[in-house]
Amino acid sequence: MYNSTPLYDRSSLAGLEADVRVVSESWFEHDAHESVENLVCELPLAYFDFSAHDCYTAPTRYEMEQLFRGFILKEIYGWEHETALVEYLNHDADLCEQLDLERVPDQSTLWRSWNNRFTVELRETIQKAARTILIKYLGLRENLAANEGARSFIHESTRERTPLGHAHRDNIRDLSIKQVREMYRQAIQHLIDEVAATEEFFRAGIVAIDITEADPFTGDRTGHEDEIIGTKENTDEYAYQWATVQLVGNAVPLVLDARPVRKGESRKAIVEDLLDSAENLVHVDNVLMDREFDSQHVLEMLSQRDSRTSSQSGCRPARKPKRSG
């Protein structure tokens, strides 16, 4: 294992961290490897000497390797307390078998193992290993999100039977644009509330409205001509187009909302819709737009919104539409 890294010995935590990184990189390149739990169970640990990092001297029921894998799962799932790990293992006999656990440790055993048995350095290594795996696992790869969403539902639901990954994807596709936007707004609202609590975020700023296009569409667009409207370039290609409103400037860069662009929609309607969403989340000081929004209708609409804002608040209008690009 260490022929290419002679500075590492069998008890080297740096070597262990490097191995987790290399194995996780290779693991998720394989199409059949989508389970983070399987990776944790298959990490090659037989060579590693845990004795140097074990503060207990008397024999115990649970091996360090078993506990090491269990605590990596706890860190990956973000559980603050050992009880969540105990409950999770008690509901997954297959996972316990993979971890070679004949009996699930109780909460107090896990607490003592983490706080008294493991060295500080070993605890830090577990946390680093979990972060490494998450970065490799959670990377944007095809079909991952829906499959893992279905797998998580299996463990979090009390149902005996739950949807598989393909059924999950079918249900996602059935969601309307209105439903997807509402879920996105709720997520952004929660994120903004969390950031605002740090006093490093002010609910005011500059927003930019822009239209971007997806990758060229190569399928049959029959019946979808109003949605797959083309590209910005003068070509024969077609693509979906999306209008977004994003916080820019010195603010935290957040896409506050996004919506599809349909054939025949006016730029005025698009801007007004996105500003309605943005102003439900933050106070908009200025609006930046490029030249494709440069029309008298858009400018008049913005001016009217400024007038309404100033008359309601008694303040001087703050929004100034600017062009860029």
Reported as type and span, the H/E element at residue 248 is strand 241-248
Last residue in a domain, options 93, 122, 141: 141
Residue 98 lies in a domain: yes
Q: Are strands 321-323 and 283-289 parallel, antiparallel or unpaired?
A: parallel
Question: Which letter, b or e, does each residue of 28-44 get, where b requires 16 or more Cβ atoms within 10 Å of its Cβ?
Answer: beeeeebbbbebbbebe
Q: What is the DSSP string of 87-143?
A: HHHHT-HHHHHHTT-SS---HHHHHHIIIIIB-HHHHHHHHHHHHHHHHHHSS--TT
204 or 69, greater pLDDT: 69
Residue 295 lies in a domain: yes
**Residue 299: domain span:** 176-323
Judge if 186 and 73 occupy the same domain: no
CA–CA distances in Å: residue 313 to residues 273, 305, 306: 22, 12, 11
Compute the half-sphere exposure of residue 315: CA atoms within 13 Å on the CB side of its CA: 7
List pLDDT tens digits, range 87-130: 999 988 889 999 999 999 999 999 999 999 999 999 999 998 98
Judge if 289 and 203 occupy the same domain: yes
Residue 151 lies in a domain: no
Judge if 105 and 26 occupy the same domain: yes
Q: What mean pLDDT do residues 215-227 have?
A: 83
**Could you tell me the two tokens for 293?**
């929004």
Residue 164 lies in a domain: no
Judge if 95 and 210 occupy the same domain: no
Residue 208 lies in a domain: yes
Q: What is the DSSP letter of 146?
A: H
Judge if 114 and 194 occupy the same domain: no
Provide the sign of the torsion angle of the four alpha carbons 72, 73, 77, 78, taken in this order.
negative
Residue 132 lies in a domain: yes
CA–CA separation, 155 and 37 (whole Å): 12
Judge if 180 and 136 occupy the same domain: no
Residue 235 lies in a domain: yes
Judge if 25 and 133 occupy the same domain: yes
List pLDDT tens digits, range 151-188: 666 666 677 776 666 666 677 778 888 898 898 899 88
2 pLDDT exceeds 70? no
147 or 121, greater pLDDT: 121
Number of folded domains that form the chain: 2
For 106, list phi and psi in degrees, rounded to 5.
-80, 175
Looking at residue 53, its amino acid is H
Judge if 102 and 231 occupy the same domain: no
Q: What is the DSSP letter of 257?
A: E
- The share of the chain scoring above pLDDT 90, in percent, equals 23
Query: Which range among 17-31, 173-187, 189-203, 222-236 has the greatest average pLDDT?
Result: 173-187
CA–CA separation, 291 and 279 (whole Å): 23
Judge if 189 and 319 occupy the same domain: yes
What is the pLDDT at residue 168? 64
CA–CA distances in Å: residue 22 to residues 19, 39, 269, 317: 5, 12, 50, 56
What is the pLDDT at residue 33? 63
305 CB neighbour count, 10 Å cutoff: 19
Judge if 199 and 312 occupy the same domain: yes
Judge if 213 and 101 occupy the same domain: no
CA nearest 212: which of 187, 185, 183, 233?
Answer: 233
List pLDDT tens digits, range 55-83: 998 888 999 999 999 999 998 888 888 99
Residue 188 lies in a domain: yes
Judge if 129 and 182 occupy the same domain: no
Last residue in a domain, options 141, 168, 193: 141
Last residue in a domain, options 88, 114, 141: 141
